[in-house]
């Protein structure tokens, strides 16, 4: 069997794929891809009854109230810790100064 020339091989490949699209055809295809109208959006709350809406509002209010309580608890814990640090520093300073004060006799602990 005789080998094929490279020119004959290229011709067979071109016939298999066909012509390539032009820039105009690509631009028109890209523009027409965005022409489809968006799907209509259905409102979600209008499908609920009045009782279901009230329950949803109640759940949201309870969630916000719970977050407020958590925030208050964290604030109180931080205040207590800050006050504890200040009180500890003041008490240690008073004990040190009381031991150095000559007007008062030293304390005797039984």
Q: Are 98 and 104 in contact (CB under 8 A)?
A: yes
Is 91 part of any domain? Answer: yes
Is 2 part of any domain? Answer: no
Q: What is the pTM of this model?
A: 0.42
Is 26 part of any domain? Answer: no
Q: Are 53 and 46 in contact (CB under 8 A)?
A: no
Query: Considering its fold, how many domains does the chain have in total?
Result: 1
Distance of alpha carbon 44 from alpha carbon 46, whole angstroms: 6
> What does 52-65 look like in DSSP terms, one character per residue?
HHHHHHHHHHHHHH
Is 17 part of any domain? Answer: no
pLDDT at residue 48, as a whole number: 84
Residues whose CB is less than 8 angstroms from the CB of residue 98 and which lie 6 or more positions away in sequence, other chains included: 104, 107
User: If you search the block for the tokens 């030293």, which residue do you land on?
Assistant: 106
Distance of alpha carbon 82 from alpha carbon 80, whole angstroms: 5
Is 40 part of any domain? Answer: no
Residue-wise pLDDT tens digits, 8-63? 555 555 556 677 778 888 888 887 777 667 777 777 777 888 999 999 999 999 99
Is 29 part of any domain? Answer: no
Distance of alpha carbon 24 from alpha carbon 33, whole angstroms: 14
Of residues 83 and 44, more confidence is placed in 83
């Amino acid at each position: 069997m005789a080998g094929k020339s490279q020119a004959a091989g290229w011709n067979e490949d071109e016939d298999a794929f066909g012509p390539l699209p032009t820039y105009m055809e690509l631009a028109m295809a890209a523009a027409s891809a965005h022409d489809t109208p968006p799907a209509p959006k259905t409102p979600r709350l209008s499908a609920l009854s009045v009782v279901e809406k009230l329950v949803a509002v109640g759940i949201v209010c309870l969630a916000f109230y719970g977050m407020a309580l958590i925030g208050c608890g964290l604030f109180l814990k931080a205040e207590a810790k800050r006050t504890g640090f200040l009180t500890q520093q003041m008490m240690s300073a008073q004990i040190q100064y009381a031991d150095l004060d000559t007007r008062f006799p030293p304390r005797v602990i039984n």
